[in-house]
Amino acid sequence: MKILINAGPTRESIDPVRFITNHSSGKMGYALAAAAVKAGHEVTLVSGPVVLAPPAGLKEFISITTAAEMAEVMKKQFPMADLTILCAAVADYRPKRVSEFKLKKLPGGLTLELERTEDIALTLGRMKRTGQLLAGFAAETDDVEQNALKKLKEKNFDWIAANRVGIPGSGFGSDTNTVKLFAADGTVMDLGSELKTLLAERMIRIIASGKNKGEDGN
């Protein structure tokens, strides 16, 4: 199976020195890519700026910085993929104007005008052809399941992994995660809290192989 995965954060420049980003470490996406390679799949990983080494055995590794670059690459790679897993934490907003020079510190506050970036998940969901699988993540601080199910439907996902962030020892930057999988057909699979490497292996086995609740033993 040809699998396309994105991972990590994006950086949206304010000026040549400063940028807007988020706490994504890329560990979950990289673990998924490594697990997919281990399972014998042909894997392309598209990554934002992280401090991780690309997993061995990838078909292709593509490094990007901004949300616009991520969108361009994902739209180009998506038609060739049998399964796409959206694990990157792509910025929803970017500065409307990027200063050519470093902004100087002045008295008082500073207001930045932001504009929306492209909704990559929505775009790919509309591009999805019959037979393609599209999975994503819902990293939420509250109403995790409700927000995940809403995103599952709106983005035309086949699977979504709901995980709570902002709690110690799980989610962004951590080696562990707490994941519950929801499928478009109504299947729900609680994978619990586990190392991201082990969760990734289970997720690849479930999503890529089409295993149901009974087959995975949950």
83 contacts 1 by C-beta, under 8 angstroms:
yes
> What is residue 171's predicted lDDT score, i.e. its pLDDT?
55
| pLDDT of 215 | 39
Between helices 144-154 and 120-127, what is the axis angle to 10°?
40
Structure tokens at 10: 């994006």
**22 assigned to active site:** yes
What torsion, rounded to 10 degrees, do the Cα atoms 137, 141, 146, 149 define? -10
Kindly tell me the sign of the dihedral angle through the C-alpha atoms of 19, 140, 117, 6.
positive
92-108 confidence digits (pLDDT tens)? 999 999 999 999 999 99
Q: How does pLDDT run across 165-192, given as a tens digit for each residue? A: 766 565 566 888 889 999 999 999 999 9
Output phi, psi for 124, to 5 deg: -70, -35
Q: Is the pLDDT of residue 217 over 80?
A: no
* Average pLDDT for 120-130: 97
Count CB atoms within 10 A of the CB of residue 28: 31
CA distance 52 to 32: 13
Task: Please give the class, per CATH, of domain 2-94+114-216.
Answer: alpha beta
Which residue in 6, 22, 156, 212 is the catalytic one? 22
What is the structure's pLDDT at 169?
A: 60
Residue range 7-53, pLDDT digits in tens: 999 999 999 999 999 999 999 999 999 999 999 999 999 999 999 99
Q: Above 80 in pLDDT, residue 218?
A: no
Long-range pairs of 158-161 with CB within 8 A, sequence gap ≥ 24:
158/133, 158/134, 158/183, 158/184, 158/207, 159/133, 159/134, 159/135, 159/183, 159/184, 159/206, 159/207, 160/135, 160/136, 161/135, 161/136, 161/137, 161/203
* Nearest one of 127, 8, 108, 17 to 66, comparing CA atoms: 8
Q: Provide mean pLDDT across the span 209-218.
A: 45
The pLDDT assigned to 62 comes to: 98
Residue 216 is predicted with a pLDDT of: 43
Model pLDDT, residue 210: 56
The domain spans of the chain are: 2-94+114-216
pLDDT of residue 140: 77
pLDDT digits (tens, 9 = 90+) for 132-171: 999 999 887 778 888 999 999 999 999 999 987 766 565 5
pLDDT in tens, 45-96: 999 999 999 999 999 999 999 999 999 999 999 999 999 999 999 999 999 9
